[in-house]
Amino acid sequence: MILTLLFLATTAGADPMLIEDFGQDATERWGYTSDRVMGGVSDGQAGLGRDGDLEFAQLRGQVSTANNGGFIQIRTNLSSPLPEAATGLALRVRGNGARYYVHLRPDTARRPWQFYQAAFDTTEAWAEVRIPWAAFRPQGGLQAQFRPSDIRSLGIVAYGADYEAALDVDWISTTD
């Protein structure tokens, strides 16, 4: 009886899956892009920062909504499917107090503007942000719901307003 209860307790939820820790070869997995690919004028850069033993992604730049623009981002293709039992994402971030976004692109997306979007706010101190799947809103004509295993890429985005972006991301994982 005790063994059965232990088994049920350990299989009731999904173990969190580490998506990225921005360690070795992270610059090969992540790419930077901006609205300039479609005529916008936002300007920025991405790279890796270091604070002691801590390595993290950095997204910096000026987001401009001029000329129908309004984003800078870092994006990666996922190397394995997200677990179906996951309940959302967790990120450890710090920033300049601005709002940023996670964009999830499913395998059904046919256009660059098709993704699921959820916002998160930052402070100057490192903080863990948890975003449940229910917080992600479809963009560009996608269906209202998605299966985590259908997500093929993930973007961290400064988006939708005129502001200076300064965001650091330590790690990203799924939540159980």
Residue 94 covered by a domain: yes
pTM: 0.89
Burial 70-84 (b: 16+ CB within 10 A, else e): bbbbbbbebeeebbe
Closest to 80 measured CA to CA, from 4, 148, 6: 148
Residue 115 covered by a domain: yes
How many Å apart are CA 163 and CA 161, to the nearest integer? 6
Residue 110: per-residue pLDDT: 86
Residue 6 covered by a domain: no
Residue 144: per-residue pLDDT: 84
Residue 163 covered by a domain: yes
Residue 13: per-residue pLDDT: 56
Residue 12: per-residue pLDDT: 47
Residue 70 covered by a domain: yes
How many Å apart are CA 31 and CA 23, to the nearest integer? 15
Taking 70 as the pLDDT cut, the residues of the chain under it are 1-14
Residue 11: per-residue pLDDT: 38
Determine the structural domain holding residue 26 and report its residue range: 13-175
Residue 7 covered by a domain: no
pLDDT in tens, 73-83: 999 999 999 99
Residue 170 covered by a domain: yes
Residue 2 covered by a domain: no
Residue 122: per-residue pLDDT: 98
CATH number of 155's domain: 2.60.120.430
Q: Domains in the chain: how many in total?
A: 1
